[in-house]
């Protein structure tokens, strides 16, 4: 069903765009970066985080709040 809608929409998407969107969504849902790294096949978690950590500016704020709660 979704494929039919997508094909009729005329939107052009590269495979890489889907891959990037998938990784971005996983990180925004707080999936552990190591899991995202393995799914993408990156050789190190550093590559994954260097590439995708910018996607959510509020990630830093959320982590700061967690740290304050722990202290």
Q: Where are the domains of the chain?
A: 16-70
**Tens digit of pLDDT for each residue in 11-29?**
777 878 888 889 988 988 8
- pTM given for the model: 0.63
Contacts of 53 (CB under 8 A, 6+ apart): 27, 59
pLDDT block averages, 10 residues each, the chain of length 71: 73 82 88 93 92 72 71 61
Provide, for the chain, the percentages of residues in helix, strand and coil under a 3-state DSSP scheme, each rounded to the nearest 5. Answer: 75, 0, 25
């Amino acid at each position: 069903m979704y494929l039919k809608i997508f094909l009729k929409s005329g939107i052009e998407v590269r495979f890489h765009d889907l891959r990037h969107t998938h990784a971005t969504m996983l990180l925004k849902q707080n999936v552990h970066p190591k899991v995202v790294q393995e799914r993408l096949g990156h050789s190190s978690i550093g590559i994954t985080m260097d590439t995708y950590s910018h996607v959510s500016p509020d990630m830093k704020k959320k982590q700061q709040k967690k740290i304050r709660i722990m202290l």
